[in-house]
Chains A and B, each alone.
Chain A
Amino acid sequence: MLTSQQIGFLILGAMTLGAAILVVRVHQVFHATLSMILSFLGVAGLYVLLGVSFMAGLQLFIYIGGVSVLTVVALMVTRGGMDGQVRIANESVGAAIITLAMFAGLTWLILQVPWPITPLVPAPADDVVFLGETLVAIDAYAIPFELASLLLFVVLIGALYIARER
């Protein structure tokens, strides 16, 4: 018998995968973008189900708030180049065979291992505090955290430089 969490997982998983299939199969690029947002939303729901609600919030901020807007802007700028249409390339049958084989192989590999059924410990009640303490502790991840901010700064300048009007 399925528990309520398993039913929630199946609904969210079907939403994520269905929207992802629409992203790669739908013929309008803008519809693909909307499906991508739905897929990101499903992933955020899966994070809530896993008990990491802060990651779900980050997913909403970064992907639905940031990456989707960037994609829509790029789509608007480059509109007309493909007449708004996605034409699937001739190699799509080969790509389907490769990816189906890869999925079958991965699934077989996953089912070889007796994975645990339940999480190891209950989810931390206040995962923002937990993550914050981890990220700025000097004996944990303080240096990668600062490097990440440097990377984002360099990317900001680099993206402006690449996309500027010449």
Chain B
Amino acid sequence: MVPLSWYLILAAALFCIGLYGVLSHRNLVVILMSLELMLNAININLIAFSRYLEPGQRTGMVFALFVYVVAAAEAALGLALVIAIWRNRDTVAVEEIDTLKG
């Protein structure tokens, strides 16, 4: 069988790649895609912990399901915001969206 630590290290790597995308990119759409990668890493962790450590086998799966719900909401609202910003300012580059910077 695959040891649990392999899954945890894979999820950590996926999370860090997503974090790198969020920190280093200028395009809002790519930043949202990197956020989805990070949420996927968290779901791998939840399900792996549930399979390897939990007698009831249900809490991890239910949590992962609610992460899916939140991820879908985040993607829909985030991309709607991107489209709204595009309409108003003709840009999706994060450093040009600085009206609130004062």
Contacts and interface: CB of A to CB of B under 8 A. Distances in A.
A69 B21 CA distance: 20
Interface residues of A, number: 87
A58 B1 contact: no
B66 A16 contact: no
8 interchain residue pairs of minimum CB distance: A95-B23, A24-B21, A92-B24, A163-B80, A159-B80, A115-B4, A106-B12, A95-B24
Contacts of A135: 62, 65
Contacts of B10: 13, 16-17, 46
Interface of A: 3, 5-6, 9, 13, 16-17, 20-21, 23-24, 29, 32-33, 36, 39-40, 43, 46-47, 49-52, 55, 58, 62-63, 66-67, 70-71, 73-75, 77-78, 81-82, 86-89, 91-92, 94-96, 98-100, 102-103, 106-107, 110-111, 113, 115-121, 123-124, 127, 130-131, 134-135, 140-141, 144, 148, 151-152, 155-156, 158-160, 162-163, 165-166
Given A32-B33, A78-B86, A155-B76, A117 B54 contact: no
Contacts, number: 241
The size bracket of the interface on B is 35 or more
Chain A residues touching B, majority SS:
helix
B2 A77 contact: no
Contacts of A36: 33, 36-37
B41 to A, nearest CB: 9
Nearest to B28: A78
